[in-house]
Amino acid sequence: MTVPIPSHLQAGLLVLVALGLYALFGGADFGGGIWDLFASGPSAARQRGAIARAMGPVWEVNHVWLIFALVVAFTAFPSGFSTITVALFWPLHLALAGLILRGAAFALRPAPEAQVGGRRGAWSWVFGVASLLTPLLMGMTVGLLTPGEGGTPLVADRPLGSAGWWSPLSLGVGLLAAATSAYVAAVFMTLETGGELQALFRRRALASAGVVAGLTLMSLGSLAEAAPALADRLFAPPALPVTAGGLVAAVLAATSLWRRDYPAARVLAALQVAGMVGSFALARGPYVVYPTLSLQEAAAPAGVVSTVIGISLPGLALLVPALGLLWAVFKSPRTPAHPAEGTTARRPS
């Protein structure tokens, strides 16, 4: 006999899948900006040009997953959405400002090939810095949603003061989010470049994989201190298989990078990110704010949640093929918007 899954869990799963896709594709977008910020050496302009050509055709489209997650969360879990957006007003709005600034800066900055003498303009600095700080702030909000025993609890009607932002867990998760974005972008760039640049992004991918591993251990240590029961649940069913799968994918991704098997590395890095997001979500259980506000407590009436699900599924049936067509058209090597390395990228309109 099949036990029906409650509607609030189905809606929570929709939000989780959307956030997982955003962590992967949006993270790669942010990571491209991070590597743009740290581009250096004689090939700096070529590095930025390769990143712009990789990002340009599908510029900002990956953020559709964030919009989808926010819309479902707002309608299906209004009290939880209200608690989070009020309590985390400042970090969330600073992240929103970062999203707006990096998008505007990407459009307004001079093309990388036009940066005379390797000198970048103000908008290029804005693009790079916003690309670094935005995932950092988003990661910190994830840490702040798990205040644990020693953290500052979130209050529904009052923004969390800046002193409450800087717990070891929130800072660790924030740094991990930024490092993971850089790692995914470097892995993806190994398939967008060739020759010297491909070797450069391979080295960066291997180095950032090491940083991600170190920050993961640091965050786990902070989690074990703040919320030991949650840390234990990462290595117990039902999260254990996902945690183990993510770890195996991480090791295999690094091995594939070392062997220069870049297509395999891209797939395995995606699985690694899925494992990180999925295992943490499963370990937290059905909580919006761990361990004080559950999905069921935050959910709208069942009829509203069912309607949200009923509308979302046909929407996804249209959205996913549309995104696939977008990638197929604009990422094709035969498309003028995706020229070979060394030519000028066409700006998105």
Q: What pLDDT sits at residue 292?
A: 81
Cβ burial 159-195 (10 Å sphere, 16+ → b, else e): bbeeebbebbbbbbbbbbbbbbbbbbbbbbbbebbee
pLDDT at 335: 60
Please say if the pLDDT value at position 345 is more than 60. Answer: no
Number of Cβ within a 10 Å radius of residue 242: 21
- Per DSSP, the three-state class of 166 is coil
Q: Please, which pLDDT band fits residue 330 given cuts at 50, 70 and 90?
A: confident
Q: What is the pLDDT of residues 287-296, one digit of tens each?
A: 888 878 889 9
Under the banding of pLDDT at 50, 70 and 90, the label for residue 57 is low
Cβ-contact 164, 152 below 8 angstroms: yes
The per-residue pLDDT for 150 is 60
Asked which of 39-48, 144-153, 182-191 is least confident by mean pLDDT, the reply is 144-153
Round the CA-based radius of gyration of the chain to a whole number and report it: 20
Tens-place pLDDT, residues 146-182: 866 666 667 767 787 777 778 888 999 999 999 999 9
- Can you give the pTM of this predicted structure? 0.89
Tell me, what's the pLDDT at 342? 42
Q: ∠33-35-38 over CA atoms, to 5°?
A: 115
pLDDT number for residue 76: 95
Say what percent of the chain tops pLDDT 90. Answer: 61
Q: How confident is the model at residue 300 (pLDDT cuts 50, 70, 90)?
A: very high
Residue 173: closest CA among 115, 120, 216: 216
Tokens of 217: 């251990």
Q: What is the pLDDT of residues 207-228, one digit of tens each?
A: 999 999 999 999 999 999 888 8
Q: Which of these, 170, 124, 138, 140, lies nearest to 32 by C-alpha position?
A: 124
